[in-house]
Amino acid sequence: MSHLDRYVARHVLNATLVVVLVIVGLDAVFALVDELKRLKGDYQLWQALQFIFMRLPRRAYEYMPLACLIGCLAGLGSMAASSELTVMRAAGMSIRRISVAVMKPVLVLMMISMATAEYAIPSLERIAQSQKAVAQGRGDTLSNRGQGFWHREGDTFMRFTAVEPNGVLHGLTLYRFDQQARLQQIRTADRAIYQREYWQMEGVQDIVLHGDHVTRNEVGSLRWETGLTPQSLSVVMVEPRDMSISNLYRYSQYVKDQGLNADNYLLSFWRKVTQPLSTLALVLLGISFIFGPLRSVTPGYRIFTGILVGLVYKYAEELLAPASIVFGFAPLWASVVPIVLCTLAAVLLLRRAA
């Protein structure tokens, strides 16, 4: 890499890192304000700060494509404003070479981002959610507030209000149905502790439905045989967007084998797989703006344009995701179509500028 290549890459990298810090910092402040409304039990300010801190890598990963776009516009824009790009082109440095120099730091950031999403974010998200749930004292297994984690195994639907990574379930509820999808039994437990090959349930209560009457039994402690393990529950307790690529693929296949719709997991899978391509497409579009319509505008206008384009791209993805479920086309297309359109627009603008 020549001195000019390193100079361009350094400008873009520094601008992108600043953008990441600003965006993630602002988002964390807003998230903390929102968490202050959920203080309950042992979940107070210090626990809320820990919760927000452990989710910072997730927020940085989600904002990385937008940050790379704005960083590209800001870095190259400052060089264009000082006529450095004009001098480079006059010295024989082509637009293609400048584009390659811009892409190199972006690729490094994407590799770090993908590694974080695969190995760090799922674990941090599990720990953050379980600590928050335990601190808030969610022990009401029959609450209807929509909180907790759901799982299905055969004819039994399971709900856990909190899952600790060390193999402890809190607020466990099992709903068992018959072949006609009629509710037969509701079993609740205060908690369940994993014992290597089975779970030991504590504070168990059974509600059995016998047609026109219901019986309730206090069981106390009970051994629970199930295929669930703390490792498999690590998939259940996080949202699809926070799961690793490998877990998303495996769990989508498991959901298919259960006869359920796996589109939500496949959508998240393809989004994560194609995120490097979408980031490169956005950066390429940013480069085409610098050499085209945004060549001689103010830095603030460039940043505003970057935010606008990034939001349009994000909303296009958000609209195509449910559309793939409604209209029945492959979830892969919901991620590929915006990338193709963005790349085509960038190539057309670069050809005009060349």
The reply to whether 250 falls in a domain is no
Together in a domain, 13 and 121: yes
CA distances from 37 to 45, 48, 129, 284, 310 (A): 10, 10, 16, 41, 30
Together in a domain, 162 and 124: no
pLDDT tens digit sequence for 247-265: 888 888 877 776 777 888 8
Together in a domain, 31 and 97: yes
Angle at 45 between CA 40 and CA 46, to 5 degrees: 115
Share of the chain above pLDDT 70, in %: 94
- pLDDT above 60 for 329: yes
Q: Is 123 exposed, middle or buried (0-12, 13-18, 19+ CB in 10 A)?
A: middle
Number of domains in the chain: 2
pLDDT at 228: 81
Domain end position, chosen among 204, 238, 272: 238
**pTM, full prediction:** 0.79
Look up the domain containing 190 and give its range: 149-238
Contact status, residue 75 vs residue 16, Cβ threshold 8 Å: yes
pLDDT at 10: 93
Element containing residue 162 per DSSP (H, E): strand 156-164
pLDDT tens digit sequence for 102-155: 999 999 999 999 999 999 998 898 888 878 877 776 544 434 444 567 888 888
> Residue 92 — pLDDT band, cuts 50, 70, 90?
confident
Average pLDDT, the chain: 85
Distance CA 323, CA 331 (A): 9
Element containing residue 278 per DSSP (H, E): helix 263-291
Together in a domain, 123 and 18: yes
Together in a domain, 324 and 227: no
Together in a domain, 9 and 122: yes
- 56-65, 84-93, 100-109, 186-195, range with the lowest pLDDT: 84-93
pLDDT tens digit sequence for 27-78: 999 999 999 988 887 889 999 999 999 999 999 999 999 999 999 988 988 8
Task: Please report the DSSP string for 175-230 in residue order.
Answer: EEE-TTS-EEEEEEEEEEEE-SSSEEEEEEEEEEEETTEEEEEEEEEEEE--S--H
Beta bridge partners of 37: none
Residue with tokens 């690529």: 245
Together in a domain, 7 and 131: yes
The amino acid at residue 43 is Y
